[in-house]
Structure 1
Amino acid sequence: MKDYWHKEWEQGRRFILKIKPGRRLKESLSQFVAERGIKYAVIASAVGSVSQVHLRGIKAGARLPITEARMNQHRIEGPLELVGLEGNLVPDESGQIDCHLHILVAKSSGEVLGGHLFDAEVFASCEIILSEALVAGIERHPSKSGGVPTIFIQEGEDRP
């Protein structure tokens, strides 16, 4: 038995997206993909600056399942350099696009912070390279073992 599941996907459209200052990053990204009918996508690159960042990290020594008590939430006022943003956009069980994003931001001191992104406000600009994935049979479901929503791959030729 294999230790993984997989689905092969084809490259769809590719976009360069620039989000205006003062806009909410996840809200703007969600609006963009909804307007273009994008169901699956990956963030290839993102740079810019952000403020009002809300992220979380898993506490040291935490066990599964991940629960609120096993996570630290952080709110960082900024402004901060956006040095990394990655993740995927996959529909949940109801068909709504779920933006699962992780962020890396740098303070003016050079200290870098990161984690799961709840949201952030664009400070000066945010430039995102987005790649559409053409695939079917994948949704994000709550994981009983992990405690957080994760990708679920439907039964088929690509799943053991």
Structure 2
Amino acid sequence: MDPTHCDNQATPISCNLQCYALRLKPGQELKSHLVEFVQERSLTSAFVLTCVGSVTKARLRMANADYIKVFDGPFEIVSLVGTLSGGKSGHLHISLSDKDGHVIGGHVMGDLFIHSTAEIVIGSCSGVRFTREFDPDTDYDELVVSKTVTS
């Protein structure tokens, strides 16, 4: 791929933004609850706007790696970013800090069990759909953003 090529996916798509605030409680699993929330509401372009809280455990895939690491906490959620629509379970990355302030992060695979709370705001753009298509340049299913047809 030409490194100077700019993918047309960067073209802005105007939309009305809806926001959904929710709180998860101790013992709930973060990723599965967010995916379920999005699917129950048929949100086609959901993404994480913000998230704060803590988890007792995390299962993450490391950068450019085929293996998954399991981390036992508790950890503070420093950052949670990504998309929740498109594909089976979206695409999320997280940064977590331990009691000494050391930070770990990676691609969320699951097992993010809430320690005390998780306060999350999800955004969704009306008239927009996130899907994923295989990209031979990366060997992954990558985000495709499109306008939805309205009648």
CA-based RMSD: 2.2
Q: Which moved more, 1:33-42 or 1:117-126?
A: 33-42
| Matching residue's letter, 1:112 | V
In 2: Cα distance, 1:143 partner to 1:100 partner: 15
Kindly indicate whether residue 86 of structure 2 is the aligned counterpart of residue 81 of structure 1: no
Q: TM-score w.r.t. structure 2 length?
A: 0.82
**What is the 5 A alignment of 1:87-102?**
87-92=82-87, 96=88, 98-102=89-93
Q: Residue in 2 aligned with 1:54?
A: 59
**What is the 5 A alignment of 1:61-140?**
70-92=65-87, 96=88, 98-119=89-110, 120-136=112-128, 138-140=130-132
**What is the 5 A alignment of 1:138-149?**
138-149=130-141
In 2: Cα distance, 1:58 partner to 1:134 partner: 32
Q: Residue in 2 aligned with 1:20?
A: 25
Q: TM-score w.r.t. structure 1 length?
A: 0.78
* 1:148 Cα deviation after fit: 1.9
Q: Structure 1 stretches (4+) deviating beyond 3 angstroms?
A: 135-138
Preserved CA contact (<8 Å) 1:42 1:133: no
Q: Residue in 1 aligned with 2:149?
A: none
**What is the 5 A alignment of 1:23-38?**
23-38=28-43
The share of aligned pairs that are identical, in percent, is 26
Gaps of 5+ in 2: 147-151
Kindly indicate whether residue 46 of structure 2 is the aligned counterpart of residue 41 of structure 1: yes
Deviation sequence 1:29-68 (CA, Å, 0-9, x none): 1111122221211211100001220111224xxxxxxxxx
Instruction: Give aligned pairs, total.
Output: 141
* 1:116 Cα deviation after fit: 0.7
In 2: Cα distance, 1:135 partner to 1:55 partner: 32
